[in-house]
Amino acid sequence: MELHSEKVLDIQLVQSNEVGGSFYMEKDGLHRCLDLLQTNNIEVDYIVTDRHTQVKTYLRGRSVTQYYDVWHLEKGISKKLEKMSKEKECQLIKKWLPTIINHIYWVATSSKSGPEKLAKWTSLINHIQDVHTHDDPEFPQCAHPVKVSLDPSKWFQPGTVALYKVEKLLVNKRLLGDVQKLSSNYQTSSLEATSKGKALFKVSYPKYKKGKPTAKPVKTKTTFGYVSELMHLVFTEVFPEPARFCDQLKSVPVPEDLCAQFEKTPKEDVIAAHISRFSRVGGRT
Ligand SMILES: [Zn+2]
């Protein structure tokens, strides 16, 4: 998909029986796409995919730079954390889940290099224990303002099962290698959204219908590509020349303040009602 025009340039259809099973479809589809680009003299700078092992090996063999899509990575981690949070000693994980998810996206989109991604990623283990300074010079301190916490139950405590499990999941050798290759750009998840406001349908040929095509609407997943698009707009177009955007901004309808939609009762009436309520109570005692 060409992300600026949101057009899918070419779709390579691969049928599972053509390539010896669905396991080989991703690799084979990729192989055909790259060949197509190459025969049209289009150079591939890098490619963003999920962490499919076969694709990894294939791209390494073809010397194509690969980055990983943060949405796929986050989805996998979230599922595991959610499952963990149901265990007896791990309930704290549930409260922290939104923060951890945010952190994953923030690491990917705010970092310029692999080591920076790694340092920010691992800082989370300190942060959840109320420790906000870190040994790694790439990220020596949390980016949030420091607050003194008075509630120790909010944080993970050293030596607990919950902390051990979170650490084991987020700080293991394989994952740390992959974190450094997280894509900081557009996410492939936008491919699973809509095209120009029209709902996308996925056509499948299920075996139980003897190959008769069936169309299913593709559900829109949360996408974060709009964040980089907005930032691009603000920094490269709005900031250098804000005047151009003034009229447009003024034409945005801003709804009235919620309170303004109610009829105002004069203040004296409110006070009077309050006093009479009091005097009624007082009268009874
Ligand atoms: Zn922190």
Residues 236-246 have pLDDT tens digits of: 888 778 788 88
**CA–CA gap between residue 97 and residue 77 (Å, rounded):** 10
In a domain, 78, yes or no: yes
128 Cα–ligand 1 center, Å: 7
In a domain, 186, yes or no: no
How many domains are there within the chain?
2
Please name the helix (run of DSSP H) or strand (run of DSSP E) that holds residue 47, with its range, or none: strand 47-49
278 Cα–ligand 1 center, Å: 49
- CA dihedral (70, 74, 77, 80) in degrees, to 10, reads -150
Q: What would the pLDDT profile of 213-271 be if each residue is shown by its tens digit?
A: 555 555 555 466 677 777 778 878 887 787 888 887 788 777 666 555 556 666 667 66
Note whether 175 and 246 are same-domain residues: no
145 Cα–ligand 1 center, Å: 8
Per DSSP, the three-state class of 209 is helix
- The mean-pLDDT minimum among 122-136, 170-184, 186-200, 243-257 falls in 186-200
CA distances 176 to 12, 37, 116, 173, 181, Å, are: 32, 31, 12, 5, 9
Q: Of 123, 158, 179, which residue is a domain's last?
A: 179
What does the DSSP 8-state code read for residue 143? S
Q: Find all residues with CB under 8 Å of 35, minimum gap 6, and list them.
A: none
Q: Of 179, 206, 238, which residue is a domain's last?
A: 179
127 Cα–ligand 1 center, Å: 4
